[in-house]
Amino acid sequence: MSVDRYAVFGHPIRHSQSPFIHRCFAEQTGQTLTYEAIDVPAENFGRALADFLAHSGRGLNCTVPLKELAFQKVEQLTERARFSKAVNTIIVQQDGTLSGDNTDGVGLVTDLVSNHQVNLHNARVLILGAGGAARGIIGPVMAQSPVSLYIANRTVSKAKKLALEFMQTGSITGCGFDDLAGLQFDIILNATSASLSGQLPPLPDNLLHSASCCYDLAYANTDTAFVKWAKAQGAAHCLDGLGMLVEQAAEAFYQWRQIRPDTQSVIAKLEAKRKTG
């Protein structure tokens, strides 16, 4: 019998840490499986998926630019995937049908709450950005019952639209960066793609107090522009998305294998890896 195959599809994919993470999980839990990174541009997604399924594919992660395509392709969706309109995890069911999940938001919340003891309950939360990354975390963030959520975006209409879409989940306001002046937050989550190009949204001073937490969903080998800003503003917690990456992977692994891997040891390995470049 052939070994169960898993993979991450994306473009570019060369620097993906997912194979390392899932191989650690498999070794740790004694699961026999393979996990590889496959470069798949958007135009090849359908063909690559069919080929993968025909060759012992049991589950997939999808990353940029494929999450919205994966959302369209699957036959069943979890509620959190339906709300986020994006799929980062595909589960091949026994009957061959495809289920789509989105584990990004729960990965973020687990990293904040379990790994860093940052409580979202009753917190004043600000999300920067209103693209796919922001959409993926709003549901799981609101499920923690923050007292309020602001979504601030360069294109204000997108922030307002997102706020409207999720309004049934609690107090949510969509606005521009200028509208943040005079407000204060317990937790700021950077879901813009600005970090990736070393840029920072134009944020007013005094958004934080001494116990505030800043979290960049992106991560890099050195501090992102947002983490640098958070440190300069004196935030108590200045975090990037490394823990979220491992926690979203652990949730995907659980969906595939019904076993929850230990994440702490893998986060520690990745921290050590990035220190040595």
Q: Would you tell me which residues interact with ligand ATR (CB under 6 A)? A: 129-134, 153-155, 158, 192-194, 199, 201
Q: How far is the CB of 150 from ligand ATR (least distance, A)?
A: 14
Q: How far is the CB of 3 from ligand ATR (least distance, A)?
A: 33
Cβ contacts of 48-57, under 8 Å, gap ≥ 24 = 48/9, 49/9, 49/73, 52/5, 52/7, 52/9, 53/92, 53/96, 55/5, 56/2, 56/3, 56/4, 56/5, 57/5, 57/6, 57/7, 57/92
**Active-site annotation holder among 67, 231, 269, 273:** 67
Q: With respect to ligand ATR, which residue has the nearer C-beta, 148 or 193?
A: 193
Number of H helices, E strands in the chain: 11, 12
Q: Are 125 and 187 in contact (CB under 8 A)?
A: yes
* Token pair listed for 197: 């190009």
Q: How far is the CB of 191 from ligand ATR (least distance, A)?
A: 6
Respond yes or no: is residue 67 known to be catalytic. Answer: yes
Task: Give me the residue whose beta carbon is nearest to ligand ATR.
Answer: 131
Of 115, 111, 109, 188, residue with least CA distance to 148 = 188
Burial 4-32 (b: 16+ CB within 10 A, else e): bbbbbbbbebeebbbbbbbbbbbeeeebe
Q: How far is the CB of 65 from ligand ATR (least distance, A)?
A: 9
Q: With respect to ligand ATR, which residue has the nearer C-beta, 153 or 212?
A: 153
Q: Is 81 helix (H, G, I), strand (E, B) or coil?
A: helix
Q: How far is the CB of 192 from ligand ATR (least distance, A)?
A: 3
Residue 167: CB atoms within 10 Å: 12
Q: Is 239 exposed, middle or buried (0-12, 13-18, 19+ CB in 10 A)?
A: buried
Q: With respect to ligand ATR, which residue has the nearer C-beta, 105 or 129?
A: 129
Q: With respect to ligand ATR, which residue has the nearer C-beta, 105 or 261?
A: 105
Q: With respect to ligand ATR, which residue has the nearer C-beta, 57 or 201?
A: 201
* Token pair listed for 238: 């200045």
Indicate which residues carry an active-site annotation.
Answer: 67
